[in-house]
Amino acid sequence: MEEGEKKRIALVTGAGRGLGAAIAEKLAQQSIHVVCISRSQNCEKIAQEITVAGGMAEAMAVDVSDGKAVELACGKLLEKHGTIDILVNNAGITRDALLMRMGEEDWDDVIRTNLNSCFYWTKHLLRGMVQNRWGRIVNISSVVGKIGNFGQANYAAAKAGIIGFTKSVAKEVASRGICANVVAPGFIESDMTFGLPEKVIEEIKKNVPMRRMGVPKDIANAVNFLCSEEAQYITGTILTVDGGMTM
Ligand code: NAP
C-alpha cells in the first residue's frame, strides 16, 4: 500500500479463538484494521490483545448463522468504515454423528453456521468491494470438504458447499479486482480438535506426511498471503494446508 493511502479493513468471523484469532492477529500485523467477530464476547479479548500489541482492531459479537443479525452488523460496519476490503469467513462448528443417527438439527446447525454464513457476509460486503475495484475474500473450508469423513456428512457438505460457493463468487467478480479463494486446513490444533481421543490423533498423524498436526499460524500465514496485494492474480483456487495429508 502506498503512503497516505486508506488503511485496509478486514473482517474475520470466528475470531474469538483458534484459527480465526490467529488470522486476525496476522492481518493486524500488516497494519490492517481488523473487525473480530465471534458468537460470544471472546472476540473482545482478541481485539484487545491486538490493540495492546500496537495493531488496530474492534470486536462485535454476532451469530453468523442468523441472516438478519449479519445484515444488521454489516449495516453498522459499512456506515462506520465505508467498505470492508477483506472478508475471511472462518466461523465454523461440528455436530458429528454417523448419518443414520444424525438429527435434522445437527444438519441444519452445521449448514447454517458454516455455509449460510458465507452467503450472508459475502452478499452484504461485496458491493463495496465492487465499487472500490479491490477486494479479498477467503473462505475457510476443510480437507473434509474434498474427501469426506466418517460422522461428518453435515460438515463435509457445508465445507464442499463453500468450495462451489467461492468459485462462483470468484467468477462473478474477477473482473472487478476481487479475489475469492478457499483455504482447506487439514487437522489443526484448536478447541475443535482438542477433544479428539489420543488414539484418533495418533492415527491422524500417521496419515500426515509431515507427522504432526498443524497450528493456527499455519492457516493464518496462508490466509494472509491470499489477502495480500501479491495474490492479485489468484482467484477461485483452493489452498490446502494439511502437511501433505491429501496430496
Ligand atoms: P474453534 O476453535 O472451535 O473456534 C470457532 C470460532 O467460531 C469461535 O470463535 C466461535 O465463536 C466462532 N463461531 C462458531 N459458531 C459461531 C456463530 N454461530 N456465530 C459466530 N461465531 C461463531 O474452531 P477452529 O478450529 O478455530 O476452526 C475455525 C474454522 O476452521 C472452522 O470453519 C473450521 O471448520 C475450520 N477448520 C478447522 C480445522 C481444525 O482442525 N481445527 C480443520 C479444518 C477446518 P466463540 O469464540 O464465541 O465460541
Residue 99 makes CB contacts below 8 A (sequence gap 6+) with 153
- For residue 1, pLDDT over 60 is answered with no
Q: 32 in a domain, yes or no?
A: yes
Q: 45 in a domain, yes or no?
A: yes
Q: 120 in a domain, yes or no?
A: yes
Lowest mean pLDDT among 3-7, 29-33, 70-74, 183-187: 3-7
Cα of 215 vs centre of ligand 1, distance in Å, is 14
Confidence of residue 195 (pLDDT cuts 50, 70, 90): confident
CA distance 111 to 93: 9
Q: 180 in a domain, yes or no?
A: yes
Active site residues: 155
- For residue 105, pLDDT over 90 is answered with yes
- For residue 227, pLDDT over 90 is answered with yes
What's the mean pLDDT in 24-28?
98
**Percent of the chain that is helix, strand, coil (3-state, to 5):** 50, 15, 35
- For residue 3, pLDDT over 80 is answered with no
Confidence of residue 6 (pLDDT cuts 50, 70, 90): confident
Tell me, what CATH number does 112's domain have?
3.40.50.720
DSSP at 100: G
- For residue 5, pLDDT over 90 is answered with no
Cα of 131 vs centre of ligand 1, distance in Å, is 30
Structure confidence at residue 120 (pLDDT): 99
> Where do we find the cell 495493531?
55
What's the mean pLDDT in 71-75?
98
Summary mean pLDDT of the chain: 97
Q: 15 in a domain, yes or no?
A: yes
What's the mean pLDDT in 17-43?
98
- For residue 2, pLDDT over 70 is answered with no
Q: 121 in a domain, yes or no?
A: yes
Q: How many domains does the chain have?
A: 1
> Mind listing the pLDDT tens digit for each residue in 38-49?
999 999 999 999
CA distance 53 to 25: 9
Domain that holds residue 16: 9-240
Q: 4 in a domain, yes or no?
A: no
Cα of 140 vs centre of ligand 1, distance in Å, is 10
Pocket test for ligand 1, best of 11, 17, 44 (most atoms within 8 A of CB): 17
* Ligand 1 atom, smallest distance to 17 CA: 9
pTM above 0.85, yes or no: yes
What's the mean pLDDT in 173-182?
98
CA distance 79 to 72: 11
Q: 149 in a domain, yes or no?
A: yes
> Where do we find the cell 500500500?
1
Going by alpha carbons, the residue nearest to atom 20 of ligand 1 is 39
